[in-house]
Amino acid sequence: MDAQLDYRADQTDLHNLLCGLSQELRQPLAALRAGFGQLLNDAPKPIPPEHQGHVATITGLCDELLGLTRGYLDYAEAARSSNPSRPQALTLGAIIADLDRRFGPKARERGLAFETLADPSDVEVVADAERCMRIFHNLIDNAIAYTPSGGRVRVETRLDGDSWLLIVEDDGPGIPAESHARIFEPFHRLNRHEHSSIPGEGLGLSICRELTAQLRGRISLRSEVDRGACFTVALPREPDAAV
């Protein structure tokens, strides 16, 4: 038990340190980004063509570093569980309707079929809506981002005994079996060329895992290469229970 407590203390210290560093880096990075953006767009004299590419490259690197600091701050906040839980009554139908409203247009703009189902729709569960929606949004964002045009994304809620499930399924490129155990680790991204242009810091699924654990639930993955991916989040119907 002492070793477990020491490990958690070490993890907390590490999160606090990296969170502090990320916050310190954000301001100078944002200032640099603004300065290079001004050079490109509002400089008194146009930048010579032979230098424009260099400035654009540096601007892009600033954007990547800003995204990384924002991503780690989000992950550190989720891992530290600093916000109090605010459970409230929700119906499965209301959850699905909200997700359809938020993500349906985005999926269809990308040429995807977006399907939603709540079964049954009128069943009420008690959950922390903010944490739940952060989990669901990350999973659906990933499904939309990684599924090529012409594909399908399906989101479903349903009951499973004393638990309720949210299932996000796509028919995209899938995830290799050797990555299943690591996919929820911070900063882990699939090392496949077709994913190289998709933005992100590899923290979305880590945040999902942390928040799901705080809700006393579990998250699982079923996937094969070239046969899509299916993420399932199982949460207790009552906040004091566990899955």
Q: How far apart are CA 140 and CA 170, in angstroms?
A: 9
- Mark whether 103 and 221 lie in a shared domain: yes
Q: Looking at the 3D structure of the chain, how many domains does it have?
A: 2
Q: How confident is the model at residue 203 (pLDDT cuts 50, 70, 90)?
A: confident
At which of 33, 57, 80 does a domain end?
A: 80
Residues 6+ apart with CB under 8 A from 237: 125, 126, 159, 162, 163, 164
Flag whether 128 is in a domain: yes
At which of 37, 60, 80 does a domain end?
A: 80
At which of 54, 80, 106 does a domain end?
A: 80
The DSSP letter of residue 156 is E
- Mark whether 91 and 59 lie in a shared domain: no
For residue 68, the domain's CATH number is 1.10.287
- Mark whether 12 and 62 lie in a shared domain: yes
What are the residue ranges of helices labelled H in 147-239?
Answer: 204-214
200 in helix, strand or coil?
A: coil
Q: How confident is the model at residue 243 (pLDDT cuts 50, 70, 90)?
A: confident
Flag whether 242 is in a domain: no
The DSSP letter of residue 199 is -
Give residue-wise pLDDT tens across range 89-132.
Answer: 999 999 999 999 999 999 999 999 999 999 888 999 999 998 99
- Mark whether 94 and 115 lie in a shared domain: yes
What pLDDT is recorded for position 1? 42
Is residue 90 within a helix (H) or strand (E), and if so which, with residue range?
Answer: strand 87-91
For residue 145, the domain's CATH number is 3.30.565.10
- Mark whether 215 and 147 lie in a shared domain: yes
Peptide bond into 84 cis (omega under 30): no
Give residue-wise pLDDT tens across range 15-53.
Answer: 566 666 666 676 777 777 777 777 667 666 667 777 777
What number of H helices and E strands is found in the chain?
5, 7
- Mark whether 153 and 215 lie in a shared domain: yes
Neighbours of 126 (CB within 10 A): 15
Prediction pTM value: 0.71
Q: Check pLDDT > 90 for residue 217.
A: yes
**Residue tagged 């009128």 (tokens):** 122
Flag whether 189 is in a domain: yes
- Mark whether 71 and 155 lie in a shared domain: no
Assigned token pair, 62: 């600033």
Domain that holds residue 204: 87-236
237 and 189 in contact (C-beta within 8 Å)? no
